Amino acid sequence: MAAALDRQAMIDGLATAVSLLDEAHALGRRLAPEIDRIVMVAAGSANRAMLGIQYWAERESPSLDVRRWFPAELMTQDPARLDARTLVLIASKSGTTKETVAAGEWLRGKPCRTVAFTQRADKPLAGLAQHVFAVGETSESFPALFMVMQALVAGVMAAKDGWALAAPLMASLKALPGALADAAASSDARGKADAARIVDDKVIYHIASGPGFTTAYVFGVCIVMEMLRLHSTALEAAEFFHGPFEAVDETTPLILIVGEDPSRPLMERVVRFCDRYAPRAMVYDSRDFGMPGIDPAIRPIVAPYVLQAALKRISANLSLLLGKPLGERRYMWKVDY
């Protein structure tokens, strides 16, 4: 039995996010003259979506200082520069994540500006920020939160720096749901085959570089570990040859995530090594996907999310092969932790 793919449901699940893009972009433009730094706060997949946004802001903006924290770390470190010229983006898919809600409460005692991103406006996190974007309940919450947060940050960069890619980015974000659905559909058969290849493995490695680590982490940790309860490790290509590669041999299953951003040569080096020493490596390269409606200059920015859509066909099939529904948890939301 194959894991069903509903292409239209993927697109429909991102419709609310698409409807919020212009509003988020306008808010970013409006706040830009009043801020010097952006601080992004979230746990799990939302934090890693922020990683990709941070990568491009650090590369493209000469004026913004951009930082990213897990909520618990933010509160314990208590950074000194959370001042009136700081914009905090705080995100939680559920809007109820314990540490994120606590950080939202904690931030109310700071002079910084706050924008919350979540699925529903009636959840605790939404009531703790000055501005709220609710993307709706959707199985595509990871790209949904990315799209709206990226639109806001693009607005800031457009207003502060005259960022030339802001307009093509906005058009591409509106086309992204279709590109994600196409990537999933075109990877359906491969996902079934790759799931069968690794179903009996005891550990799986996921390697990426630059903003692609967003995908290595979200797929490897938030899906393979959290949802399927398998041993999985996400690794940075820049560190692979400083230790981890010594554990790799002809028996090791690896998923190599190759994007189109400036860090691509780091992954190409990993691919060359695995071609020689790790025949069980599976390469997912964003250049293999058409991405209809995505401006060529924006492909590097959205590639991690296109690759995530493709990789989810592996997890959908692993779920069936292992008899582990993706919605079930062993500890999360069930025990005191």
210 lies in the same domain as 144:
no
Those residues with Cβ within 8 angstroms of residue 41's Cβ, 6 or more apart along the chain or in another chain: 68, 69, 70, 71, 74, 88, 89, 90, 91, 100, 103, 107
253 lies in the same domain as 126:
no
CA dist., res. 130 & res. 113, Å (int): 7
Give me the tens of pLDDT residue by residue for the chain, a chain 337 residues long: 457 789 999 999 999 999 999 999 999 999 999 999 999 999 999 999 999 999 999 999 999 999 999 999 999 999 998 999 999 999 999 999 999 999 999 999 999 999 999 999 999 999 999 999 999 999 999 999 999 999 999 999 999 999 999 999 999 999 999 999 999 999 999 999 999 999 999 999 999 999 999 999 999 999 999 999 999 999 999 999 999 999 999 999 999 999 999 999 999 999 999 999 999 999 999 999 999 999 999 999 999 999 999 999 999 999 999 999 998 998 888 898 8
Choose the final residue of a domain: 115, 145, 163.
Answer: 163
Asked, for residue 330, whether it belongs to a domain, the answer is: no
> Residue 3: its pLDDT value, please?
74
Asked, for residue 169, whether it belongs to a domain, the answer is: no
Bridge partners for 133 per DSSP = 117
> Residue 1: its pLDDT value, please?
43
Cα angle: 224, vertex 227, 232; to 5 degrees: 25
Buried b (16+ CB within 10 A) or exposed e, 289-328: bebebbbeebbbbbbbbbbbbbbbbbbbbbbbbeebebee
14 lies in the same domain as 158:
yes
Contact 5, 184 (CB under 8 A): yes
Token pair for 175: 């086309």
> Residue 323: its pLDDT value, please?
94
Choose the final residue of a domain: 163, 181, 212.
Answer: 163
CA dist., res. 132 & res. 127, Å (int): 8
Contact 296, 270 (CB under 8 A): no
204 lies in the same domain as 118:
no
90 lies in the same domain as 219:
no
| Strand-strand pairing, 231-236 and 131-134 | unpaired
197 lies in the same domain as 275:
yes
Asked, for residue 172, whether it belongs to a domain, the answer is: no
CA dist., res. 266 & res. 264, Å (int): 5
102 lies in the same domain as 12:
yes
Those residues with Cβ within 8 angstroms of residue 19's Cβ, 6 or more apart along the chain or in another chain: none
158 lies in the same domain as 279:
no
> Residue 161: its pLDDT value, please?
97
241 lies in the same domain as 312:
yes
* SS3 label, residue 93: coil
End-to-end CA distance of the chain: 36
Asked, for residue 210, whether it belongs to a domain, the answer is: yes
Contact 299, 174 (CB under 8 A): no
Contact 87, 115 (CB under 8 A): yes
Asked, for residue 336, whether it belongs to a domain, the answer is: no
State the total domains in the chain.
2
Token pair for 121: 């406006």
Strand order of the β-sheet with 254-258 is 231-236, 203-208, 254-258, 281-285
Owning domain of residue 207? 189-322
Asked, for residue 1, whether it belongs to a domain, the answer is: no
Task: Find the CATH number of the domain harbouring 238.
Answer: 3.40.50.10490
CA dist., res. 68 & res. 40, Å (int): 5
Whole-structure pTM value: 0.95
CA dist., res. 14 & res. 254, Å (int): 30
* SS3 label, residue 259: coil
